[in-house]
Amino acid sequence: MELPLAPSAAPERADAARNRERILCAAQRLWAERGVSCTSMDAIAAEAGVGKGTLFRRFGDRSSLALAVLDVRERALQDAVLTGPPPLGPGAPPVERLAAFGSAVLAFTAEQLDLVLEAEVHSGGRWMRSAPQAVRRLHLQVLVSAARPDCDVEYATDVLADALSAQLLAHQLREREMPLERLQAGYADLVERLLG
Amino acid sequence: MELPLAPSAAPERADAARNRERILCAAQRLWAERGVSCTSMDAIAAEAGVGKGTLFRRFGDRSSLALAVLDVRERALQDAVLTGPPPLGPGAPPVERLAAFGSAVLAFTAEQLDLVLEAEVHSGGRWMRSAPQAVRRLHLQVLVSAARPDCDVEYATDVLADALSAQLLAHQLREREMPLERLQAGYADLVERLLG
DNA sequence: ACGACAACCGGACCACGGTCCGCTTCAACC
DNA sequence: GGTTGAAGCGGACCGTGGTCCGGTTGTCGT
C-alpha cells in the first residue's frame, strides 16, 4: 500500500508503519471472523489499538482498506499472469490466455467475494481506476487487441472486464446458484465467440 | 409503487396516498434540482412536509425510492417493447430486437444515470431482483433462447444484461468518454457475435 | 353522531462512516 | 543529549441513513 510514486517520497515513520500493519491485521482478522458487513470501522480501529483518525488517514475509506487487504493476493495473481506458465502466463495464443485469465480472476473473486464486493461496489467508481483493476484491464486490452484488432477493442475489453465483476459473480453464484465451473466455461465460450 | 400482489390487499388510506404522492414529487424535484448525491433523505422529507419515519416506512430505503421515481418511465419502455413497432417491439428477428432493446435501455439509463446508479448500486443486490430488472431479464432470455437455444442461455443472458448496467455505462460515458452511439453500436456487435 | 380499532404519523433516537484539530512523538541535526 | 519542526495520533464531533414507539387520524360498523 505504500505508494512511492516518486522515489523521493518521504519514508514512513516507524510508528506509522507499525500502526499500518496492525490495522491491516485487525481488518483481516475481524472481517474473516465476523464477516465483512458486520464489522464496523470503529471495531477495526479498536481491535488494532488505534484511534479512528489514524485508520482513516492511512486508508482513506472503507473500500480502500478492503483493497489494501486484497493487495497481497492480487500481486500473486499478477505474477502468475506475467511470469507464470501458459496458458495463464505468456506463451499461449491470446484467446486461450483470455479464457485462462477469466478462470483465474473468477476463482480469485469467488474466494473472497464479500471483500471484493466491498472494494468494488461502495467506492463511487473509484474501483475502475484502482491500480489492480487498471492492470487487469490493460492485460485484457492487449490480448483482445492481439486476437482481433479489427473491432472496437476498448468496448470489447469493457465487456470482458465487466463479465468478471464481483457484482455479477455474486448474483450468479448466490442468486442463481450457478456453480463456478459453469461460469468459467461460459466465460471461455464468450471469449471464443467474441474473438475467435 | 402500490404493490397489490394479492387483490385482497388492504386499500391505502387517503392521507397515506397523499403523502406518498408528495414524497415522490419532492424526491423528483430535489433530485433534479440539486443532483441525486447532494440531496439527503431528510431534505426530501422536509420538502414533502412529512416526517422522516413516514418516508422510510413508505419506501424502505433510498434506493427503493429511486426505483419508485424511475418506475413511471420504465413502464413506457416496457410498453414500447411489448406492444410497440419493430424492431424494438414484436415482429423483428431476435438478434435485431436485442440490438434495439440494448439501444433503448442504454439511452434510457444514460438519460438518468445518477438515479439509476442510486437504485442499482446502493442496494446490496436487491436491484437484480427488482421488478423492472426481472422483466428486462426475462425479455432478454426469451430472445436469446429464440436466437440460439444451443448455448448456455442463462449465462449469455447474464452477460447481455450486465453489459447494460448503469455502472458500466457510467464508466464508459464519464471515465472513458465514449459517446453513447459507440456503445450502442458496440452492443449491437456484441449481440451479433454472440448469437448471430 | 359516535365509538373503537387499526393504520398511520412524526420526530427523537441510534450506529456508522468520515472529518478535524490540539496534543504527542519521532527523528534529524546540532 | 537537547532542540526543533513536522509527521503522526486519537477521540470528540458531524451528517446521514435507517429504526422505533407513543400519540394521532382516518375509516367503518352501529
- Chain A CB within 8 Å of residue B52 CB: no
Confidence bin at A124 (pLDDT 50/70/90): confident
Cell triple for residue A31? 472481517
CATH 1.10.10.60 fits A1-60, yes or no: yes
Q: How far is CA B115 from CA B47, B62, B71, B190, in A?
A: 18, 10, 11, 26
The type of residue at A147 is: A
What is the architecture, at CATH level 2, of domain B11-60?
A: Orthogonal Bundle (1.10)
Determine whether the interchain pair B175/A121 forms a contact, defined as Cβ–Cβ distance below 8 Å: no
Of A158, A165, A168, the CB nearest to B172: A158
Average pLDDT over residues A10-37: 93
Does B59 contact strand C, using a CB cutoff of 7 Å?
A: no
CA of A89 to C1' of D16 (A): 47
- Chain A CB within 8 Å of residue B151 CB: yes
Top-level CATH class of A61-195? mainly alpha
Q: What is the pLDDT of residue B6?
A: 42
Determine whether the interchain pair B125/A172 forms a contact, defined as Cβ–Cβ distance below 8 Å: no
Does A57 contact strand C, using a CB cutoff of 7 Å?
A: yes
Confidence bin at A106 (pLDDT 50/70/90): very high
- Which residues of chain B neighbour A176 with C-beta distances below 8 Å? 154, 158
Q: Within 13 Å of residue B108, how many CA atoms lie on the same side as its CB? A: 22
Q: What is the dihedral of CA A26, A32, A33, A39, to 10 degrees?
A: 70
Q: What is the pLDDT of residue A196?
A: 87
Radius of gyration of chain A (CA): 18
Which segments of chain B belong to CATH 1.10.10.60?
A: 11-60
Determine whether the interchain pair B185/A152 forms a contact, defined as Cβ–Cβ distance below 8 Å: yes
Contact A184, A172 (CB under 8 A): no
Does A15 contact strand C, using a CB cutoff of 7 Å?
A: yes
Of B167, B174, B190, the CB nearest to A159: B190
Instruction: Please say if the pLDDT value at position A5 is more than 50.
Output: no
- Reported as a single tens digit per residue, the pLDDT across A140-154 is 999 999 999 999 999
CA of B67 to C1' of D1 (A): 68
Determine whether the interchain pair B182/A152 forms a contact, defined as Cβ–Cβ distance below 8 Å: yes
User: Is B4 or B43 the better-scoring residue by pLDDT?
Assistant: B43
Instruction: Please say if the pLDDT value at position B159 is more than 60.
Output: yes
> Which residues sit opposite B92 in a β-bridge?
B90
Q: What is the pLDDT of residue A12?
A: 85
Lookup: nucleotide whose C1' is closest to A53 CA: D10
CATH 1.10.3470 fits B62-195, yes or no: no
- Reported as a single tens digit per residue, the pLDDT across A26-80 is 999 999 999 999 999 999 999 999 999 999 999 999 999 999 999 989 999 999 9
Q: What is the pLDDT of residue B154?
A: 98
Q: What is the pLDDT of residue A9?
A: 55
Q: What is the pLDDT of residue B151?
A: 96
Using a 7 A cutoff on CB, list residues near strand D.
A 10, 12-13, 15-16, 18-19, 49-54, 56-58; B 11, 13-15, 40-42, 52-53, 56-57, 60-63, 122
CA of B152 to C1' of D7 (A): 57
- Which residues of chain A neighbour B151 with C-beta distances below 8 Å? 189
- Reported as a single tens digit per residue, the pLDDT across B9-63 is 567 888 889 999 999 999 999 999 999 999 999 999 999 999 999 999 999 999 9
Cell triple for residue A6? 516518486
CA of B38 to C1' of D2 (A): 53
Confidence bin at A179 (pLDDT 50/70/90): very high
Q: What is the pLDDT of residue A3?
A: 37
CA terminus-to-terminus distance, chain A: 38
Confidence bin at A10 (pLDDT 50/70/90): low
What string of H, E and C letters represents the secondary structure of chain A?
CCCCCCCCCCCCCHHHHHHHHHHHHHHHHHHHHHCCCCCCHHHHHHHHCCCHHHHHHHHCCHHHHHHHHHHHHHHHHHHHHHHCCCCCCECECHHHHHHHHHHHHHHHHHHCHHHHHHHHHCCCCHHHHCHHHHHHHHHHHHHHHHHCCCCCHHHHHHHHHHCCCHHHHHHHHHHCCCCHHHHHHHHHHHHHHHHC
Average pLDDT over residues B80-100: 97
Determine whether the interchain pair A162/B165 forms a contact, defined as Cβ–Cβ distance below 8 Å: yes
The type of residue at B27 is: A
- Chain B CB within 8 Å of residue A194 CB: yes
> Between A and B, how many residue pairs show a Cβ–Cβ distance under 8 A?
79
- Closest CA–CA distance from residue B155 to any residue of chain A (Å): 6
Instruction: Please say if the pLDDT value at position B2 is more than 60.
Output: no
Q: Which of A9-13, A18-22, A76-80, A171-175 has the lowest mean pLDDT?
A: A9-13
CA of B59 to C1' of D13 (A): 30
Q: Which of A10-24, A158-172, B74-88, B107-121 has the lowest mean pLDDT?
A: A10-24
The closest alpha carbon to A176, from B121, B135, B157, belongs to: B157
Instruction: Please say if the pLDDT value at position A4 is more than 50.
Output: no
Average pLDDT over residues B71-86: 95
Instruction: Please say if the pLDDT value at position A168 is more than 90.
Output: yes
Residue with cell 492492470: A135
Average pLDDT over residues B91-109: 98
Contact B63, B127 (CB under 8 A): yes
Which segments of chain B belong to CATH 1.10.357?
A: 62-195
Give the C-alpha separation, A161 to A155, whole Å: 10
